[in-house]
Structure 1
């Protein structure tokens, strides 16, 4: 099996920068290929603990305090930031990391976090229009040659004669990740702008149908379907015995039987079998959602029992 494994965190549930740094360093030391975080400003269940941290502020810090692991968002909300400043921000973090950053970008969906922090939340159709323009602006700025300027005649984000001076370290720009279950616009945007398409939190056969659809859109558009990495995101709960599994499930407020049915939960061998099902459906990469950031032994158990079976 050759599926790539990355660690994915949800800091809005209550995590400090130091918590994220500990997980990122552990993930790097244990051999995971990436450390990703959500981009949310409000918790979903619970009390939010210490409160939210900003995704790109924390990734900038992690860029200087790690050395090999890939870093990014799954996913940044297009409603939170203007595309020009976001392009500068992400390019700067990419420079700080030596070219290890990836940008997951989505339309935004969690209305409560917008109202909680005074962020406009337009209707869904407009959010997708804004996402499409953001992708055009960000990739256009990154593709601008030295000495040239970039302009975009957009409805929401018109840009005029930008010098586009801040460029990512990665030669062809920061890889973009687009995901979701949309049947029309999401695959089209992924094929046009993304290096990776992500199927979040769904069963392997459902993810496979999404992969087949987006690869079909790629073929119709004249893009090599194999040039688009297909990935999935799943909650993970691994333990070598039932007592450990139940303790870890209880720690994140989830029922173990439900996790076994709807996530990557079980013994290392059980989880490897579940990963094989995703790989059979076309997934080349899995993002393992780790919710208890204080349990670094969990990461070690995943690495020892699961990751080491894949290499």
Structure 2
């Protein structure tokens, strides 16, 4: 119940405020690094044998707080290249474009105006604070098949290059727990990440990579303490995330997403390694349809999991920025 309340408050906090006038970056996708990172998926989660299943909410929420303003060189009119053919803009439309108002432009006008920008000089850097939450809440917490929730705060320096990729790094702290709060731990360390886009201006086709190195305080991790006879010593951990998202030429399918998450504790105590708690891995493949419906398959386990599972997910997904 405690985590359910926290999740509700987080959704309210992370939901975007709709601006009356879209910005240059929103219209032309120059801030693709942050697009589609907020996801809520409601559905039935079941293991392969079908003996454990529950209605659940799988969520991934992010909130960026920029420190300073990034610079977009192509926002200046001298960065626009006159196309050989293009839409005819009225004087009012040109004045509106100069004020970052694209609300009255047609989709074709937006596409051609975007194509008329010289993206070879796109380049900016910015420091920002990122707050995030990721996990699974099951209606029956005893049947949570991905019982690992992570709340994260991170300071990141991010660099955008050539409208094709971003990269960055920083420091972070996380609070990790299961749904019942029986197991919890704090981790803090350094992180690097990169995101590559398959097509210029398309936010939903990309490869995302993240690598963390952290020191973990397991003071409230009852699983680990039971194995180590109450030893609360901190330990080091690597965490790697990789996600690929792309579209296929099937009209009913919006996108396909593949993700892999891996945790590894180097030099783990013999008891931890013998219990299989020195490394965890989870692979997920999902197909998302036009109306938000999805089907996904997962194989593996996350920290705090009792055993490896093959999980089938069927439900409705919503992404927002």
TM-score of the superposition, structure 2-length normalised? 0.26
| Structure with greater proportional strand content | 2
The higher-RCO structure (CA 8 Å, 6+ apart) is 1
